[in-house]
């Protein structure tokens, strides 16, 4: 089986090499044919130049785009590779490489078609520096409202962006209408996959602390976009 890990980067020079090495190490025991794809949006901190030497030594491919956008960067990577299973994750150690095998297990055992790493199930959470903060509580209650009340999804998290899924999911839906904007692509992908009859599952993950650099997220804007996205999906708009 072929596995591709998609890594969107913007100013992740301090994290990316360590992250790629940790991902390949964590995945080695699974014995899958693994490739890492980095899609960098011309980061001013030179992320791409730091990744380039790795492409000669490891199963790493690098794409550099001239425009910005998290969701379109992910789609760009997805459209330039063939794999049986895809993993999407942050490149700042919020999503921890050691958790990837657990994310893949339900797919490898054919118990699920899409698995999301969830902070809001027993065993999941956030690094102590962020647990209990407004970010954590806002996203916890936002997830409850969206997943249970608005969309009726069978998971407790639809925003983490730490997901693994089978290639069939990509064929079932119009990808350009899913991969738009920032992190909201995640909820669109889950909802469309659920609607199409694919099996969703979640595994607990604890977010690690961003090691280097700064977050690109704006919490309030993200929460509003997330709610609007959910309502639009529900109303079929």
Ligand X SMILES: Nc1nc2c(ncn2[C@@H]2O[C@H](COP(=O)(O)OP(=O)(O)O)[C@@H](O)[C@H]2O)c(=O)[nH]1
Q: What is the distance between the alpha carbons of residues 150 and 163, in angstroms, rounded to a whole number? A: 21
Q: Residue 1 CB, nearest distance to ligand X (Å)?
A: 25
Q: How many CA atoms lie within 13 A of 222 on its CB side?
A: 22
Alpha helices in 28-133 (DSSP H): 47-57, 70-78, 100-108
Query: What's the Rg (C-alpha) of the chain?
Result: 17
The mark string for 52-91 relative to Mg ion (x by CB under 5 A, - otherwise) is: --------------------------------------x-
CB of 163 to ligand X, least distance (A): 13
Of 92, 113, 157, 202, the residue at the interface with Mg ion (CB under 5 A) is: 92
Q: Does 148 bind ligand X (CB under 6 A)?
A: no
Contact call for residues 190 and 184 (beta carbons, < 8 A): no
Question: Nearest Cα to 9, choosing from 53, 80, 81, 62?
Answer: 62
Q: Which residues pair with 198 in a beta bridge?
A: none
Residue 106 contact, options ligand X, Mg ion, none, Cβ 5-8 Å cut-off depending on partner type: none
Q: Using CB under 6 A as the criterion, what x/- string covers residues 87-116 for binding ligand X?
A: ---xxx-x----------------------
Which among Mg ion, ligand X, none contacts residue 41 (Cβ within 5 to 8 A by kind)?
ligand X
Residue 56 makes CB contacts below 8 A (sequence gap 6+) with none
- Choosing from 3, 4, 6, 10, the residue that interacts with ligand X (CB under 6 A) is 10
Q: How far is the CB of 90 from ligand X (least distance, A)?
A: 4
Closest residue by beta carbon to Mg ion: 94
Find, among 9, 26, 162, 153, the residue nearest to 101 by Cα: 26
Range 182-221, binding ligand X (CB under 6 A): 215-217
* Partner in contact with 217, chosen from Mg ion, ligand X, none, beta carbon below 5 to 8 Å by kind: ligand X
**Residue (of 56, 114, 55, 111) closest to 86 by Cα position:** 114
Please identify which residue in the block is written with the tokens 């738009």.
Answer: 180
Helices (H), the chain: 16-27, 47-57, 70-78, 100-108, 134-144, 168-171, 185-195, 219-234
Shortest Cβ 98–ligand X spacing (Å): 17
Enumerate residues 32-71 that contact ligand X by CB under 6 A. Answer: 39-41, 68-70
Q: Least distance from C-beta 39 to ligand X, angstroms?
A: 5
> Interface with ligand X by CB under 6 A: which residues?
8-10, 12, 39-41, 68-70, 73, 90-92, 94, 215-217
> Interface with Mg ion by CB under 5 A: which residues?
90, 92, 94
């Amino acid at each position: 089986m072929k596995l591709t890990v998609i890594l969107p980067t913007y100013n992740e020079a301090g994290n990316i090499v360590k992250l790629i090495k940790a991902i390949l190490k964590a995945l080695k025991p699974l014995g899958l044919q693994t490739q890492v794809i980095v899609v960098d949006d011309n980061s001013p901190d030179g992320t791409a130049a730091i990744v380039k030497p790795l492409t000669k030594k490891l199963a790493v491919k690098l794409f550099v785009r001239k425009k910005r956008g998290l969701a379109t960067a992910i789609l760009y990577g997805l459209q330039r590779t063939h794999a049986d299973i895809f993993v999407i994750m942050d490149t700042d150690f919020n999503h921890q490489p050691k958790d990837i095998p657990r994310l893949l297990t339900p797919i490898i055992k054919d118990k699920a078609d899409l698995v999301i790493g969830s902070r809001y199930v027993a065993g999941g959470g956030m690094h102590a520096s962020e647990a209990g903060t407004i970010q954590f509580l806002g996203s916890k209650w936002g997830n409850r409202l969206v997943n249970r009340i608005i969309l009726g999804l069978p998971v407790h998290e639809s925003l983490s962006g730490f997901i693994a899924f089978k290639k069939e999911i990509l064929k079932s839906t119009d990808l350009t209408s899913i991969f738009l904007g920032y992190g909201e692509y995640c909820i669109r992908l889950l909802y469309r996959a659920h609607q199409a009859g694919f099996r969703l599952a979640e595994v607990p993950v604890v977010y690690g602390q961003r090691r280097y650099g700064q977050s690109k997220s704006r919490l309030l804007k993200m929460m509003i976009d997330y709610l609007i996205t959910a309502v639009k999906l529900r109303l079929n708009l």
